[in-house]
Amino acid sequence: EKGGFDHFMIKEIHEQPQTIYDCLRGRLNAAEGTIKMGGVDNNIDKLLNANRIIVVACGTSWHAGLVAEYLFEELCRIPVEVEYASEFRYRNPVILTGDVIIAVSQSGETADTLVALENAKEQGAFIFGVVNAVGSSIARISHAGAYTHSGPEIGVASTKAFTGQLAVLTMMALKVAKAKGTISELRYVELIRELDAIPGKVAEILKDTTAIQKIAEKYKDASDFLYLGRGYNFPVALEGALKLKEISYIHAEGYPAAEMKHGPIALVDETLPVVFVATKDRFYEKIVSNVQEIKARRGQVICVATEGDTVIPGMSNDVVYVPDADEIVGAMLSVVPMQVLSYYIGTYRGIDVDKPRNLAKSVTVE
């Protein structure tokens, strides 16, 4: 049942080229330059006229929501809020007509998310579910939705469901942008091609993970990790830190790289591994100077860099490469080394990574 792998987590990590492909299949047509999604097509007016999108989710799904914030604001020019379901439901939030709520959930059963949606629905919000588990409570309460088609996720740590969420949210943002006219035809077609290439690029990352395993071996006894990224890679840094905490019980924090000087930099010394998501996107120059700031304080710099980069390797203690991609789709690549790194650190520490202590796969109590 684990398909020759030691754990469900690593099996599910390796399934991602296929699960992302399954998510795109039947929707994205790169040759024709089209995206079909029934839930979006049938409710396009709701999305086009949205004054605001509120993403409601927990945990890893909340991180996917943060990526969606960048996507929808940039491509569709719609203001987006990303809310922890547990906070949103209890603070008497302002919900206005014309608000669209995007609920993101792997299990479709997360209690806080479900109740937050029930409340918002009563107040007249339109609910769009981005859910993995077919027929789940959140799928049923939504007015419309799109399944991620990632298949059953058994490992407690979410991996393939996250990249499936990103694939769905990216397709949605592209469709809305196209219908709204906030994206040029050229850019739209270019991004469709970029998205279409993602499964192959994820396969490339996973073809040989020995470099990541070596890094895991080297840092497995660290007591703290810092994860830093900017732009679309900021949520990836948060997700990297969450994966490590869950699976290895090592304390880790994710931060926007520039926010580091407002506090966390005080933690840096020669014992602290700092993972940078330093791919070649529009923030590359900025992240290079953030890496220098950590080096100057003798932190151990581990970088996720773009293949062919010649600057980052010279500045890092350790490097892992991902294929070049447009930043709009890049998070689906840069998160993969994070998942693999956590998996190996967890297993080298002797932890049952599929069932880490204190965690449940589906959090049906608040």
Identity (one letter) of the amino acid at 139?
Answer: A
**Closer residue to ligand F6R in complex, CB, 272/338:** 338
| Binding residues for ligand F6R restricted to 298-337, rule: CB under 6 A | none
**Closer residue to ligand F6R in complex, CB, 133/272:** 133
Dihedral class, residue 157 (left if φ above 0, else alpha if ψ from -120 to 50, else beta) = beta
Strand partners, 129: 103, 145
Q: Which residue lies nearest ligand F6R, judged by its C-beta? A: 59
Spatial separation of the C-alpha atoms in residues 72 and 321, rounded to whole Å = 27
| Binding residues for ligand F6R restricted to 213-272, rule: CB under 6 A | 242, 246
CB of 246 to ligand F6R, least distance (A): 6
CB of 152 to ligand F6R, least distance (A): 12
CB of 107 to ligand F6R, least distance (A): 3
Residue 154 touches ligand F6R, criterion: CB under 6 A:
no
Spatial separation of the C-alpha atoms in residues 220 and 344, rounded to whole Å = 9
180 is annotated as an active-site residue: no
CB of 158 to ligand F6R, least distance (A): 4
Q: Where are the beta strands (DSSP E) in 142-297?
A: 144-147, 224-229, 251-256, 273-278
Q: Where are the beta strands (DSSP E) in the chain?
A: 28-29, 34-35, 52-57, 80-84, 99-105, 126-131, 144-147, 224-229, 251-256, 273-278, 300-306, 318-322
**Closer residue to ligand F6R in complex, CB, 296/365:** 365
* Tokens coding 37: 């999604």
Identify which of 277, 152, 285, 302 has the alpha carbon closest to the alpha carbon of residue 212. Answer: 302
CB of 44 to ligand F6R, least distance (A): 26
**Closer residue to ligand F6R in complex, CB, 192/277:** 277
Identify which of 256, 277, 289, 249 has the alpha carbon closest to the alpha carbon of residue 334. Answer: 277
Give how far Cα 160 sits from Cα of 156, 290, 292, Å. 11, 30, 33
162: exposed, middle or buried (Cβ count in 10 Å: 0-12, 13-18, 19+): buried
Residue 107 touches ligand F6R, criterion: CB under 6 A:
yes
Residue 61 touches ligand F6R, criterion: CB under 6 A:
yes
- Reported as type and span, the H/E element at residue 163 is helix 160-180
Among 16, 19, 86, 105, which residue interacts with ligand F6R (rule: CB under 6 A)?
105
Identity (one letter) of the amino acid at 216?
Answer: A
Spatial separation of the C-alpha atoms in residues 130 and 212, rounded to whole Å = 31
Among 11, 20, 27, 59, which residue interacts with ligand F6R (rule: CB under 6 A)?
59
**Closer residue to ligand F6R in complex, CB, 160/280:** 160
Among 55, 71, 157, 333, which residue interacts with ligand F6R (rule: CB under 6 A)?
157
Residue 106 touches ligand F6R, criterion: CB under 6 A:
yes
Strand partners, 53: 80, 100
CB of 25 to ligand F6R, least distance (A): 22
**Closer residue to ligand F6R in complex, CB, 158/290:** 158
**Closer residue to ligand F6R in complex, CB, 16/306:** 16
Residue 179 touches ligand F6R, criterion: CB under 6 A:
no
Among 86, 158, 300, 339, which residue interacts with ligand F6R (rule: CB under 6 A)?
158
Strand partners, 54: 81, 101
CB of 126 to ligand F6R, least distance (A): 20
The secondary structure of residue 133, as a DSSP letter, is: S
Give the count of residues interacting with ligand F6R (CB under 6 A).
Answer: 15
Q: Which of 121, 180, 295, 361 is catalytic?
A: 361
Residue 136 touches ligand F6R, criterion: CB under 6 A:
no
Among 60, 148, 163, 306, which residue interacts with ligand F6R (rule: CB under 6 A)?
60
Positions in the binding site for ligand F6R (CB under 6 A): 58-61, 105-107, 110, 113, 157-158, 242, 246, 362-363
What residues are labeled active site?
Answer: 361
